[in-house]
Each structure stands twice: as C-alpha cells, then as structure tokens.
Amino acid sequence: TPGKVDQMNEAWTEGLAACDAALSLVPDHPDAQIGRTISLSNLGRNLEAIEAATRLIDGGTWFVAQALYWRAWNRFELMDYLSARQDADRARVMMINPGMYLLSGVIDWRLGRLEGAERDFEEALRMDFGQCEAASFLGGVRNQRSKVPESLAAFKQAVQCYDLAITVRRAALAPLGGAG
C-alpha cells in the first residue's frame, strides 16, 4: 500500500510523496487516495485533505467511512463544527470504533452538547480502555456538568492510562537502546 510504512512511522511528508507517486500512475487508486487524505490531515493541510476525502466520498466505493471520518476531523480542525458533526454522523453509520467516538465526542463538546460528548467519550473507553484522550476529555466534560467526583475519577483514569502508555513504550524501546 503506497505510503503505509511512512504513515506507520508518522513520516507524513514521505507518505504523501509515496501516495502522490502512486496516484500519478493510477489516479483512482483507493489506497493511495485514503493515504493521501491521512497524510495531508496530519500535515495540517486541512483544505487539501477535505478535498481528497471528498473525492473518495463522491466515488462512493472505497474507504467512504474513513474518508468521512477524516473530512470530519479536518472540518473540526478548521472549527467548522456543524459540518464536522454531519460527516461524523454519516461515518458512524458505517464505522464504529473508539477513534470515531472520540472525534464525535470532541465535536459535541465544542458544540456545547455535553451529554452527547460524555456518552461518546464513555463509549470510546468502553471499546478501548487505552483511549487516554477520551478519559481526559471525559473529565473535562464531567467537570463542566458539575459532576465533580465523576470528573476526578475520569482524570485519574487518564493519568493512569498515560502512565501505562509511557511504561509500555519504554519497554518496547529498551531492546533498541532507547529507553531513556
């Protein structure tokens, strides 16, 4: 898949170049199209990413749910929360995963829909206890809803989650001599 290794290493510029090279040979290559969308998104090139995602969505065959997710993510980054909400709702019909619930929750939070945001963050955590951001954001939403004990519990969970993530990464890096 074009750019996949680069994306796994968060080498977004190289990943984009690989996807663009593949698209120059096969303009409708779906893996390259979604890879281009993801790379552009992570490079902060939001308008180009929205355009790339829209091409996939309009094609209606490959990676539509992922393209809707990334278009929603980029629209969120551009503070177009209502459009982001629409794309996230469409994506959630086709794709359910912790990342989708996390994005959905932050969109609702920005729109002031605290109850929906709380539900989405809770669902992200039910699906994957390692969603540290969801736990942190859940604490913030609960705090806004004046649920102080529940807010503190969510923040405590976030701290534990981040601590565990650091421990796991250090252990993974230790054999490579990078556990400092």
Give 18-36 pLDDT, tens digit per residue: 999 999 999 999 999 999 9
Give the span between the Cα atoms of 159 and 153, in whole angstroms.
Answer: 10
Q: Is the pTM of this model over 0.85?
A: yes
Count other Cβ atoms within 10 Å, centred on residue 139. 22
Residue 153: how many CB atoms within 10 A of its CB?
A: 15
The rounded distance, in Å, linking the Cα atoms of 67 and 138 is: 26
54-85 pLDDT, tens digit per residue, is: 999 999 889 999 999 999 999 999 999 999 99
Element (H, E) at 45: none
Supply 80's token pair.
């177009």
